[in-house]
Structures are given as structure tokens and as C-alpha cells.
Structure 1
Amino acid sequence: MRAAIIIIIIIIIIIITLCLISGQVLCFSVFGCTGGSVMFKCMYKSNDQHKEKYFCRNTDCTTGISTETQRQWVYNGRFNLYDDENSRFFTVFIRNLSREDDGEYTCGNKQKWSHDVTLVVNRNSSSCGTSVIRSARIGQTITFHCKYDHKFKTHTKVFYRLNVGPVHVLNSSQSSQSSEGKFILSDSQKDHFNVTIRDISTADSGVYLCGVERHESDDQPSETSITHITFIKEIHLNVQSQISSVQVEAYISKSVFIKCKFPQRFKGNKKFIQKDSSQKIPVDEQNQWVRHDKVHMYDDTSGGLLKVFISDLITADEATYRCGVNINNDEDLFTEIKLTVRQVDHFPASSKSAAVIGESVKLTCNYPEKHNETIKHICKENNEKICQNISSSEKKRFEFSDSTAGVFTVIISNVSWRDAGVYWCGAETKHKHVTSVSLTNKHELTLTLPPVVGREGDSAEIKCPYDAKYSKELKHLCKGKCFTPDAQNIIQSNGDYFISPTILIKDNTELNLFTVIMTELRAEDAGKYWCAVKGAFNLPIELMIVMKDVITHEASVGGSASISCKYIRNQNQGFFCRGDQPNICVRDGVRVSSNKRTNNVFSLTDETSAGVFTVNISNLRAEDSGKYWCAEENSGSFILTEVHLHVNGEMTSSDTKRETTQKTETSGSFCQKSLSVR
């Protein structure tokens, strides 16, 4: 028995002798947790500082790492090595430990020395190998907890940033903080310690580790102990770079236009939109509109802007959006937009307006009265129904004015064929990095060419402008809207005609103008014509026909005139108006018609069976002298007869019993004037 004890003592002495040569420890153990990490040091002599270092499981080092590089981390999968020649040791760091890592290793250099390292991987501890992902915003303060086994409550706790170096080491007997007060560590000395990071910046993004300093036993290490660090938690900190947070208010069934501004140095970087916590929607194309469901985005690289247009808003669109730019692979810069979508009843659903090319048109828009002092906007939908902004500062053609509280008007002057389409208008809300326009009114603007007036037997020119991109396409002139079943083709730009050989054409591709000259005009030529190219361009124009003969009437002040006009076509609407030109008369002249039979001193009697309508003008004054038009209309088709009325000076008593009747017949109309003198 005594001999056995002596043998055991001798073996222990031999082991100690082998592991302790010249005061240097040649074999030691380190402890880690499954899923965790471990860090330890391998010492060497000063004259070995420039030689290759290695940590390997076998002789060929297929499992492990080696390097001759100094003062720089070297990586081989999960194995990392850092050689600091000034400290006479190199550091080995192993991440994401597994049970298979348990076993014997060697660290050293291949020329003179080595250490045997026993790696023990524990999988039973409840505090082993936890990993979390935390997100924070710039300027925030964040705290996280690092749990450990209670048997290590007196051990030194370590907080470490991966690939950067130790951030702070905490002595377990006290709470402490870094010199600048950014990192604060406090130990409960029970089962966890806390780490707080203050005033977070984008530079704080990265992977952090927290662990316990220990040696081969569970006792607290002494000053002479060969220690290592068992990391028990890994924290992936993602710092989100928020520029600002703004509120944007929009309305159900309406649209909203948003512009997010970023620093110019990121103008070429990829932009994105993110709704709540859903996946980012990247803008894959620059300087063109990109659609994702109902969200349209435009990456404006010249201005460093991301434009966002959301149409047909519903309650489900109310959310928090991030309007952002990618700075690098791991970092974004964004503005948080909190969009509210409200129900509103006092904004009209939509309206329709018509304008004559070359003239002006006025659109009326509503807005919340709280935005009374803000800039007003109008925007036009493109072919993809995306509304592109037109600033109110464009005073040359868009004139903005507030009419009443919550209402403003927009006058578009010198209307061209390009102005046809759907418009939205609304008031602007401006922040430092975000400009938004909540669009409240929808206007559908249709255009027509100015009416053409031709006289019976003469000729008339119909001029059809078109876009330069259609210069080589076939142009059409139709009576009725082209490319519809009821359209009657008149002529094409290739010279083919369908109605009359008395039609001449000219297509000026330099001026982008297709001109049709109609000669030997007749009453039946009156009507609405359409200039068209393909199905994309279709503009209406009215051809009015004035009958050849002019009718002249005379009357006296204070008397009356009764004028009868014969219908040239059946089942038409007759009207009588005043104006120097037929188109002015039709649009603005004082008039009575089959639908409006009285207007001050004017009255109309429709004698359908006789094919005439009669207009009576009473209480004549000298200023009633002028040009009038006896006209008929059928579905926008006008035929007119010119009437000249001359009102002479005041009546005398000798004229009271005299009555004069004058009749004039023309080839296209019949007008009768009966003058009564009182």
C-alpha cells in the first residue's frame, strides 16, 4: 500500500516537473461553453518574438491557426490569433464552441518550444453560449445583461468588443465605467452583471462579448494564476442611423407625395423604403420611377433625394415608414415618417375641367386650414399614374392664389396639348429632411383645339399639333373620335381620303403640325372633328359653318324686334346670341335657346312644326345695336347665320301707329323681323 502511494507521488512529481521548466508553464487547461467563446494566452521567450506562432490540434495544423504576422488579428474560420511581441505572448480566440472542440491542443513555435493545452467544453451550464441581436438608434442609451454561474460571483468580469480589443475590464468588487463615461459596468455579484452604453453612435455598431476571467479551478484566480476568459454571451449591436422623425397627415382615397433628403456624399448610394418592421423595399433603379405594389419610388441622384408617391390611400397604409439610404453593408441612414391616414368628407372626390389650347383654365383645390401659410402645389400624373411635383414657384404658367379659407386656385395659362391629363393639388408640410404634400383634389383636364369657323362655299384650315415623337407616324383627321366605331375618317397624312377630293393636307414635321384644308364648305361639314395619332393622341376641334348670306335689321329705340330663324337640320336645338365672332357668341354671348327661353329682354318661341324658332327683343336701346347670330346646334355641331341689328334714335309721336315689316330669305336660313312702333 505504501509502495502504491509512493508511485502516485512520483508520477505527480514527474508531471509537475514536465509542466514546469525554468519557471515556465508548459501545459494548462481552458474551459468554455457550447455556443460560447474562449480566449487565452500562450507565453514565449523574448528571443522567439519574430518566429512563426501556431495553435493546432494535430501536427499538420489542419484544425487550428498559425501566423508570422504581429500586432494584427489573423483569422481561420472560428480560430483567431493575435501576436503581440511586446507582451511576450500571443492570444488565441475561439468562437462558437461545440462539443467536438473538446480535446488536446498545442500552442508554440515550430522551432524551439510548445505548450500543451487541454480545451474543456462544457454543455451543462445554464449560462453557456447565449447570443442576442440588439438594435439602437443614434443618441440612445442601451443596457444589456450578462448571466453567469453563481460560483463565479467573485471573479473578474470582462466586456470585450470583437476585433477591436478590450473595451473595459470590471473588477468584481465594484461598479465602474470607462474613462469617458460611455461604458458603464455593474455587477450584481449574484448571477449577472450589466453593461450600459451611453450616447450611441454609428461607430458603436459591432459584436460584443461578455465573460468571466477564470483558471483551471472554480476558485477566484490569484495574481500568479494562468488565466483565460470564458465568454458566456455574444451581443450583436446594430446602430440605426436615424436622421429625424416626422409626422405626415394624408387622407383616405387620396394620395401623398414625400421627398426625403440625404447628405450629398450619399447621393449615389442605394435608397430604400421600409414599412414598420417589414423587409426593406430597395430602389433598384436610379433616376426613374420604380413601383412596389402601390408605393412608387424615385432615386434622384442629382439632388440626393428619394421621392415617394403613395396613391389611393386606405386605413391599412397608416404606418411608420423609414425613408433611408444604405451607407455601407451594415449601416443605413434614414428618416422615420409616421403616416396617419384620416377620413375627410369636405374634399371633393374628383372633378372634370375642359380647356381650349392656347387659353387658360382655373382649377380649385382644398386644403386643411392649418396649412394656410404653407406653399401650395399641383402635380400631374404620368403614364404610370405617378404624380410628379410641380412647384408653385413656376409663376410663368401656374398662378396660385388663396380664394377663401381652406381653398386655393391654380390658373394654368397658355394651355398646350401636353397639359391634358389628371392633376392633384394640395398643401406642403416641410421639415429639415422631409417635404410632404398631402394631395386632396383630383382634376381630370381635357383639352380641345380652338374652334375653326368657315363660311359656306369657302375653305377652312384645321391645324393638328402633335408630339415630335410621332413625326413619322400616320396622322388622322376624323369626324367623331378616331379609332371608335362611330368615327368617320376624313383623311390621313399619307393622302388617302374618304369623303371629298376637295381636301388638301400638309404634314410639317419640323413644326410638328398636320394641317387639313377643307374647301367648298357646306352646312353638313359642321361638326366635331378629331386630330389623332395612333390611340395615344386624340384632340377634338369644332368646325362651325357660317351660312353665306348676312341678314340686316333695323329698329328704333324703345321698340321691339321679332326674328325668326329656320332650322337647316331637323331635331336640333336653336339659340340666339350676340358676339363679334361665332365662337365668342357660342361661348360667352348673351343668349336664349330652346332650353333657356327667356333672358332679360330676350325671349324665344320654338315652333317645331314650322321648322323655325322665333326670338323677340323688347325695349330696344341704342346700345343693342350689333352683331347677333341665329344658330342651331346638334351634338356640338354649330351652323350659324349672321344677323346685324341697327337700333335708330328715339321714336316720335307720329311713329306710334306705324308698323314696318321686312323679310329676308337666304339660301341657308329664313329670318323675319317685325318692328312695332308705339
Structure 2
Amino acid sequence: MILQAFLFLLALLPAGSARVRHLPKAASDPVFGPRQVHGVLGGSVIVKCFYPPTPVNRQDRKYWCRQVGSKCDTVVSSDYVKPGYRDRISLTNHPEAENFQINISALALEDAGTFQCGLGINGRGLSHTVTLTVAEAPPVPEAAELFYLKLHSTWTVSCSFGEDTADKRRYLCKKEKEGCRNIVNSHQEIDPGFQGRVLLTFEESPGSFSVTMTQMGWEDAGLYYCGAGEYGKEGKSKELDVFVYEGELFPQLKTTVTGKSGSSATFECLYDPLKQSSTRIWCKWRLQGCDKIIDNTGYVKYGYEGRVAMFENPENKTVTIILNQLRAKDEGFYWCMSNELKEQQSSTELKVVKGEPVLTGKKEVEARVGSRVNLTCSYTCKYYSYEKYWCKWNYTGCAVLPAQGQGQGLPGPGTSCNASTRTAVLSFDPLEEEDEGWYWCGVKHNGVLGETMAVELRVSSGSDARHSPELLDVDSSPESGAVPPGGAYSDAEVRKGAVPESSDESHGSNTLALVLGPLAGLILIVVTAFAVVKYRQMKRSDLVSVGSYRTNISMSDFENLRDFSACNSVKENQETPVGGDEFLTTTDTQESTADTTKAKRSSKEDAELTYSSFLVTSDRIAQGSAGGDNAVLDVSPPQDRV
């Protein structure tokens, strides 16, 4: 029952945990070399054995011995050569390359057998078993290419099979009992267990390609084949022998990073040592390649401006990448790549989950030049003891802005933190045009960068572009409808009918000029000229445009005005209220006086008086329009007509 329960628990373990259930081979046997070496009679062979590059291993004795029963007879070592092998065998140590080599020449058939290459004392130190075969004549089988890799590092292999294979399927497979398990091929078929951490790319030479595999684990050791065509059926292939050992000072990076939607995610890349000549690239993995997002030369992919930044940390020899404003489509695998230190390339999976960001604030702020602006960043108690900072984003990083205490009395931005409201504030007083851009609010703890929030600050210059002061010809007095600061009328003033006075243009034409600009003003001038011509044809016109109001004035109205002008000469009391668009005139005069006046006028005089009265009335209407539609109109007749 206990055994069944144990097996059941193993079955429930996630697939990812299988990477740590394998026995660490390098923990007990970190020396690695070829499994088999093939030579031809009279020829030579080179045996390369790898070891961890520790100070002890570099100085320790290296040896090559022949297995005889339970013993191993030394053939050559760092300070010894067996008689019979002198002048045709040598052992050379290459500590910088983490290996030592055994060169054997003038091969004889009796040189074949089982050997060990190792460190220390025979049978007690670290060793690796090698089988040497000697053929009487060619051909000699091609030996496997060896790869000695640190745990969690990256493996890169190049394979070339000639131009005649350029149109064939390229692949990498791993040798297993059932055959060769496909890892990746040029048809974009990838084993699910290697999804996101293996990449096949074509090289410039036709028929050549390379495969990169990141985050190497214990289970990744073994025999691989890269080839063109189909393994075991047709085409060409090459054997690759991969060994994984636990190297010193090679930290394990996170294989998965989780971030909340709208928040940020932090990735770490290894670059040891940090070389000025090396190019550091961060890209998003895809089936057909890796899409570059940012590098250390200042490149940022379109659409990621203000969202991503790269920070180098010489102290711990790493590079940190922060991706802001996370969204669902950002999920996937991201790679750290280098043009020099390929073993330090790595991949990390990003998962975006729903949730509220810990850092909150307004993400878009717009203000005018010269104003005071505060960018706020609120944080929870979780980050109360963390260091808070503001920085200005650019294509090569994010420059941290000085604290408020360092910039007192000086123009420019400053930062402060209000402990009671848990808000970090970045202030601009006054705001300048060059302040426009992206600003990040972030936290860090013990020098490690944490969550960030990006804010876009847009700076507008001067007054609203919709208003053109040079087109405004208004009286600044309140009585005439003064324009408030900013060059715009309030809604209340428009509803009250407050209209600015103009000597040549009405309020309606000003409004039209403000909206349509200079072109509309030109059209308005033409319309005004046309109206003047119409004035001279008043005897045939019934509709006149005055300001922003349209007033129906008929010929009968002119007759009433003519009567009113004649009666006013004898000082009679009368009123003329203006109600809306019509003049309603009431007259209480002596009929005899009106008849006498009418009899003295000729038809020509009637027309002249009518036209003069109209001009007076129009002028009064324009001047009194600022008082509203209910203003009282006081019209006096021309004195020379009495």
C-alpha cells in the first residue's frame, strides 16, 4: 500500500519537476571524454578528456591508464611515460580550455583496448572510460563531437553538410532506445519538452545551420544527432556527445517569471565577464527565430518604447531587463543572447496573470509649459521598507532622477515620498518642453530591481491651438462681453448672449473665423462685400443679416419708421419696444399732422428717407445687440428732415 501511494505521488508531480529527479552525474564523475576512439593501423588518434576547472583540478596529476582486470596500468601521466610508448605518446594539459589531451601515434593492433583518463591516483581519483579500436585499413568511423557543458548553461552546435542538402529537412534528435527523438527541425516541429528553450537557425553557408539549447539540465546529457534528411533513412548526420557537469559560480536563473496584467516583470541575464565588445540582446522566442526587442547599443523595437529597459550590474555581473505594462499577448519565452559568451545565453518563460498592480497611479499626464506637475506613484505596505525611485526612460536605460533634498532651490524635477499616504511624487516646477517623455516609478531591495510603473508625460506649449488671438477683435470691458483668460467664451456667457463688439464684423463672423481660421475669414470678407451691395438694393430686399441674428424687415416696417420719424419732430411721446425679430411700433399722434407731412413728400423723398431710416436702424441694432434681444431701440429722425 505504501509503495502504491509513493508511485501515485510521483505521478502527480508536474512535468517540469522531472528535470530535477535525475541523478546528478557530475556530482560523482565530473571527468568526461569520448566513449569510443577509432584509429587505423600506423595512424594516430587524439583523446580529449574534460575536467571541472577548479584550482585543485588544474594542478592535480592527469593520467591515461590501461584497464587490466580490477587494476589500471599507467601508460602516460603528467610526470611518467611507460616504456614502449616513449616517443609516440604524450599528455598535454590545457587548463584554460578545461581539458587535457593524449596524442598516440604509430598505432599498432595491440594498442586497442579499454582505457581510463582521469585526475589524481589511478583507481582512486576521478576518471572516464574510453574504448580504443584500431582498424587494419580505412575507412575509420567518424568520432562523435564532444560538448562539456555547465549545468544551467547554453549549448550551441553548428552542423554543415554541403550545398546539396540546402533544400532538405534539417534536424536535431536525441538517441534513445526507441530510436532518435526529434528535438527540433526546419519544419518548425519542436518537442514539447523543449518548447521555448531550443532554437534552430540557418547560417550563411548553404546547407549549414545551428541549434541553440538553453537551461541545460542533468537529463539533457546524452547522444544527439544533427543531420539533413531523415535520421536512419537518408541524408547525412553527425554524432554529438553531450555531458553536463555542475560548474562553480554558475547561478541558476529563473526559468519562469510571473507578472500581473498592467504591471511589470523582471528578467536577469548572465554576462560574465562583462565585455565592452560583446553585444547583449534580449528577444522573444518564436518558432522561426528570436524577435529582438532591445539590446545594449540603444535599439528598442517599435511598440516597446517606454515599456522595456536594460540595466547592467557590473557588481554581480548580470544584466536586468524590465518589461512594463504587461498584457496577455506578452506571454511566451524570452531569451538573453550574446555574440561572444554563448554559454551564458538563457531563456525564461513569462506568464501574465490577472490581478491589481502593487504600484498604481495615472499612466498618462498632459500639461502646459510653465505649469507645476506632480507625477504620483502609490504603493502598498508591502513596499514600505523598499527603496523607491523615479527615473526618466531612454533607449539605453532609465536615468534615476535626484532626490528632492539634492535639488532644493534648483529648477527641475525632484522626488519625495509621503509616508502617510504611501505615495512617491515626482514634481516639475516649472514644466519645460524637454521634460516630455516616459517616467518610471520603481522599487528595489538590497540593490535588486523590483516592480515598476511607467507614466507618459506629454507637454503642450502655450494656449489652446484652437483659439487664434490675432483673429479676436473684442472690447475687453465686461459690458461688451469680454473674453476670459485662455481666449474662449464660457458656456454661461454664450447662453446669456454676451457678444463682443466689432466695428466691421459681427459676433457671428468672429465665431466663424475662430473655428474656420484665415480661410473662413477671407470668405467672410467676400460675404460682407456682397452684403454691402445688397444694402444698396434695399428696395428689392426683404431679408438682412445683422451680426449673428437674422432680422426680417419688410417694407411696411420702413413705412412705420417713416411715420415715427415725422411724428417725433413735434415732440410727441411714443415708445418702440423690440420683441424678438419684429419691430412692434405703437403711435398716438394727431392725424392731421401725419397727413400734412405725407402730402409734402414726393416718392423720391420717401425712398431716400426709407433707406436712411434703415441705415440708422441697422446701426442701432448692431450696437444694442450686446444687450440681448429685448434691448430698447431709440431712433431719432434726421434733423434736416424736420
**TM-score > 0.5, shorter chain as reference:** no
* TM-score for both structures, normalised by structure 2: 0.37
Indicate the structure with greater strand content. Answer: 1
